Amino acid sequence: MTIATSTELICFLVLGAVVVLGSLGVVLLGNIVYSAFLLGGVFMAVAGLYLLLNASFVAAAQVLVYVGAVNVLILFAIMLVNKREDLKPIEGLPIRRLLSGGVCAGLFVLFFRVVITTPWAVPGPAAIGVGATERIGEHLFTDYLLPFELASVLLLMAMIGAIVLARRDVLEVDVGTGDAVNQGLIEKARTPLLVDKSTP
Amino acid sequence: MVTTFATETSGLVSSGLDLELSFSQSLQGLGLSPQVAHLLWLPLPMLLVLTAAMVGVLVTVWLERKISAAVQQRIGPEYAGALGVLQPMADGLKLLVKEDVIPVRADGLLFTLGPVLVLVPVILSWLIVPFGQNLLISNVGIGIFLWISLSSIQPIGLLMSGYASNNKYSLLGGLRAAAQSISYEIPLALAVLAVVMMSNSLSTVDIVAQQNGAGLLSWNVWRQPVGFLIFWICALAECERLPFDLPEAEEELVAGYQTEYAGMKFALFYLGSYINLVLSSLLVAVLYLGGWGFPIPVEWLAGWLGQSVDAPLVQVITGSVGIVMTVLKAYLLVFLAILLRWTTPRVRIDQLLDLGWKFLLPIALGNLLITAALKLAFPVAFGG
Amino acid sequence: MFGFLKKVADYTRDAADAANYLIQGLAVTFDHLRRRPITVQYPYEKLIPSERYRGRIHYEFDKCIACEVCVRVCPINLPVVDWVMNKETKKKELRNYSIDFGVCIFCGNCVEYCPTNCLSMTEEYELAAYDRHSLNYDNVALGRLPTSVTTDPSVQPLRELAYLPKGVMDPHDVPANQPRAGQLPAEVLKSLSLQQDSPQGDKRESLQDAPDQDQPKG
């Protein structure tokens, strides 16, 4: 075993442990803020796994999109609505937990079986390395053009939906409650960046 | 971080010095295996760049104090060393020996982790800063994209320290910092994308090499003036420099997310912000001002003097000139940032978001489209 | 369509103006960079206060007639005049006098109105104290004279800008005997008396020609 492969193995073990323990923590921890931060850690560890697979572009994209955007937005949402209130105790919580635990364990057994029985082509195809960026671009704009465009349309729809929800003045009635929207809340007219010279 | 990919050296620039090769060859001469030689080589450039970053911060802090003083017709630090050059060291030493206070109601773990998460990505980004053809830790293929993705980790650290401080000013400061950081990242990335499109590579080395065909005239700033301005404004916003220092606006938020911090943890924030400033300036120099390039290409000078570019002496001189030029350009931009600090008043949060989303983003998109069109129309001038 | 274009034009002009103002501001700060520091290294160097500086008040106990005019003209009736009527001599007998400089605003009304000139302004301004009550000066403390900046051996006195010779901007290394720009009141009076000897017609012209007429007369 050379130095390079042993380093790789150690890195893989550490990253794998971080992913597994981190995601368990995300699900099981009581404090939602801890869960959100742990989620960020898990995303980072996944990026590390990509890096081990010599897919640096995917790793960087993973960090940019999942850690930099998704996780930050989750944290934003948590911190802006962080009301400390105790949830009402749900009836039969232990049984529910037991049931969901059973379902999860079943899924885990299923996946484990799949992993063991599938004839993996080891070692897989050689990593492209630096050329990966170009290859991803090529595939996105040829083979996967339709899903790519569909995804962008989906994002656009979500964005318009967010604008509609955020800007109450475009609607007559509130989307959530059905009450008439107070027109006085209309966003202030845009004030120019600088003092208008024409007005005395 | 480990592997050094083969550089696609363009015909214009010589391969330059390869210190790693000579180092590992000399070690192999002593009877070590190539792997061990490589392993021994690895920490050296990292330590060197870390030291360079620290020294860069010390110089920047000193410059900040002296230039601020000069702008306000004061003298500034004078007694700590000649002209007060030791003042930043004194500051650092003071913070080092100061009591490390963690507020009682704060979340100790997140409180400690926050500053670390702010500092580490910034230091990691120095990985891609080239001071010469082979003078960087690693010429990773994704180069500048690595910096963009790493800088997106920072808001998490800011949110973490803001939340963990258990203080309303800290939380507001952290939220503001994160909002500012993610909204200015988009025009920043678009401005970088236009440069990347022209140089056909994400690697910082290739971006610089592509700019150094005809010295001063071939720098990207002439082909991307709008992109240069957008990048600089966004870099200032990312570094939370005035006029965009809302997250720590002392009149409103005491000190933002740093309010509860003292001692070395505060020093980590302080260090992070200055390393980030130097790094941003270096990257502006790399992306738009020709990186290590001398205004007149060194190859031409060597040619006029009748020297071969591959001669050892010429190579050493070229390397030193490259380092000096990179640092000089970066510090010119640091100077500009400090001057801007005393010129511009702080913007309001709504003005900040307006500027980011309604002004810089459309302009950056337009810049990108125009660059693409120009690249198709004039492939010679715009790297077709 | 036209309205939209106008909006675009306005917005562009706004942006251009903003950039222009930014550059103007940068020019101002850059210009300040090359100016000389105005720093006075305080405990070691001190500015010489001007002649009419209104500093801590000096009081001469023996001159005081306990008339209490200072109390009446003071905006807040600050001076405390402690006297008793001597029945035998039928005269006021002053026992104590004090002014609290933690409250005084140094307006100088008491000095202005004192009939016996027992109050005067000094050039002392270093009134820092650990306890605000120690700023309540009694007649002994009020009677002390401050150390003059020019005679203090541990201090390098610096002249204020208006007191420097013509064309000099830096107060360091200016010889003490070098006169300030313009004429002192006494010099103006001297030149006036010289002119009175000469014929009347010349006087007015030469007065107009005389430099630095803005000096206060007397």
What confidence tens digit (pLDDT) does each residue in C164-197 have?
Answer: 888 887 888 788 778 888 888 888 888 888 887 7
Helix (H, G, I), strand (E, B) or coil at C93: strand
Contact C140/A at CB under 8 A? no
Which candidate, B91, B56, B97, places its Cα nearest to that of B77?
A: B91
Residues of A in contact with B178 (CB under 8 A): 72, 75-76
Write out pLDDT tens, residues C33-70.
Answer: 888 888 888 888 888 888 889 999 999 988 998 888 99
The reply to whether C17 touches chain A by the CB within 8 Å rule is: yes
Closest-CA distance of chain B to residue A130, Å: 5
Q: pLDDT category, C113, cuts 50, 70, 90?
A: very high
Q: Distance (Å) from the C-alpha of residue A163 to the closest C-alpha of chain C?
A: 22
Closest residue in A to B7 (Cα) is: A130
Six-digit token pair at B270?
């302080």
Confidence band (pLDDT; 50, 70, 90) for B18? low
Interface contact flag, B73 C32, Cβ < 8 Å: yes
> Locate tokens 């010279």: which residue?
A197
Does any CB of chain B come closer than 8 Å to the CB of residue C39? yes
* CB spacing of C28 vs B343 below 8 angstroms: yes
Strands C57-59 and C119-121: antiparallel
pLDDT digits (tens, 9 = 90+) for B123-166: 888 888 888 777 777 777 788 888 999 888 888 988 888 888 88
Mean of the per-residue pLDDT values for chain A?
A: 80
Lowest mean pLDDT among A18-22, A50-54, A175-179, C177-181: A175-179
- Asked if C145 reaches chain B (Cβ–Cβ under 8 Å), the answer is no
Widest pairwise Cα distance in chain B: 71
Query: For residue A117, which phi and psi values (nearest 5 degrees)?
Result: -80, -25
For helices B168-199 and B263-288, give the axis angle rounded to 10 degrees. Answer: 20
Structure tokens belonging to residue A26:
């995300």
Q: Is the pLDDT of residue A199 over 80?
A: no
Give the pLDDT of residue B82: 84
- Asked if B110 and B100 touch (Cβ cutoff 8 Å), the reply is no
Cβ of C44 under 8 Å from any chain B Cβ? no
Say whether pLDDT at C157 is over 60: yes
Partner B contacted by C43 (CB < 8 A): no
* Residue (of B239, B221, B249, B224) closest to B278 by Cα position: B239
Q: Kindly list the residues from chain B whose CB atom is less than 8 angstroms away from the CB atom of residue A61.
A: 149
Cβ-based contacts of A190 with chain C (< 8 Å): none
E-strand ranges in C62-162 read 80-86, 91-100, 119-121, 136-138, 156-158
**Ramachandran class of B153: left when φ > 0, alpha when ψ lies in -120 to 50, beta otherwise:** alpha
Dihedrals phi, psi of C137, to nearest 5 degrees: -85, 135
Distances (CA, A) of B126 to B122, B207, B338: 7, 16, 22
Minimal-distance CA residue of chain B relative to A63: B149
Distance from CA of A186 to the nearest CA of C (A): 21
Q: Does residue B204 contact residue B138 with C-beta atoms inside 8 Å?
A: no
Provide the pLDDT confidence category of residue C98 given band limits of 50, 70 and 90: very high
What is chain C's mean pLDDT, rounded? Answer: 84
Question: Does C14 touch chain A if contact means CB atoms closer than 8 Å?
Answer: yes
Residues of C in contact with A192 (CB under 8 A): 10, 14
> What amino acid occupies position C127?
L
Does residue C59 sit in helix, strand or coil? strand
DSSP category for residue A180: B
What value does the CA radius of gyration of chain C take, rounded to a whole number of Å? 28
CA distance C167 to C176: 16
> How distant is the Cα of A163 from the closest Cα of chain B, in angstroms?
14
Cα–Cα distance list, C186 to B204, C121, C218 (Å): 75, 21, 7
pLDDT, residue B7, reads 35
Q: Looking at CA atoms only, how far is residue B155 from chain A in angstroms? A: 7
Of A64, A68, A133, Cβ closest to residue B202: A133
Side-chain half-sphere exposure of B327, counting CA atoms within 13 A: 15
Q: Could you count the other beta carbons within 10 Å of the beta carbon of residue B98?
A: 14
Tally helices (H) and strands (E) across chain B.
17, 0
CB contact under 8 A, C25 and B343: yes
The candidate with the shortest Cα–Cα distance to B185, out of B144, B227, B237, is: B237
